[in-house]
Amino acid sequence: MDVIRRARPTDIEAIARLFGSPGEPLAAAFRQIASTPHVTLVVAEDDNGVAGTAQLTILRGLAWEGAVRGLLEGVRASRRGVTSALLTWSIKEARRRGCSRLHMDSGLARAELLDFYARFGFEHSYQGFTRSL
């Protein structure tokens, strides 16, 4: 059974490995996350330790009559079952925090992933854009 809990500083190296960047100095970024109330970073743990991570940001805006929305990013997991656990946790947590929508950013999605996300009710409805600074 996977346990989802808030990430601790001691999880940083395991998270860096999930992002494919072991040894990355991420302590400063971790402190920044910890001091930002609208951002929650979690890890999924199984018998072998940290097996996944995800970040949920609560966004407030004026559009949609001031709807509160969740933004799920940085989902990385060692196996598909852990991704499922992270998605299930995020949906429940977003609902608990009053979100009327949960947005999720993913890499340019493959067909197989679209089907996987669709099982949770996610629709592909946005094109994501980025500009490096």
Partner 1 sequence: MLADDQLGAARDSPDDLEPYLRAFERIVADSNQFLVVATSAADEPIATLQLTFIPGLARRGALRGQIEAVRVRADHRGSGVGAELMAWAVDESRRHGCALVQLTSDTTRAGAHRFYERLGFVPSHTGFKLKL
- Which of 10, 23, 80, 107 is close enough to bind partner 1 by CB under 8 A? 107
Q: Check residue 129 for interaction with partner 1 (CB under 8 A).
A: yes
Quote the CA–CA distance of 127 and 133 in Å, as a whole number: 20
| d(C-alpha 90, C-alpha 105), whole Å | 13
In the window 5-34, what residues touch partner 1 (CB under 8 A)? 12, 15-16, 19, 21, 24-26, 28-30, 32-33
Structure letter (DSSP) for residue 118: H
Judged by CB, which is closer to partner 1: 35, or 47? Answer: 35
Exposed e or buried b for every residue in 37-53, given b needs 16+ CB within 10 A?
Answer: eeebbbbbbbeeebbbb
133 interacts with partner 1 by CB under 8 A: yes
> What is the C-alpha separation between 31 and 29, in angstroms, rounded?
5
Where does this chain bind partner 1 (CB under 8 A)?
12, 15-16, 19, 21, 24-26, 28-30, 32-33, 36, 38-39, 41, 53, 55, 57, 59-67, 70-71, 73-74, 91, 94-95, 99-109, 117, 120-133
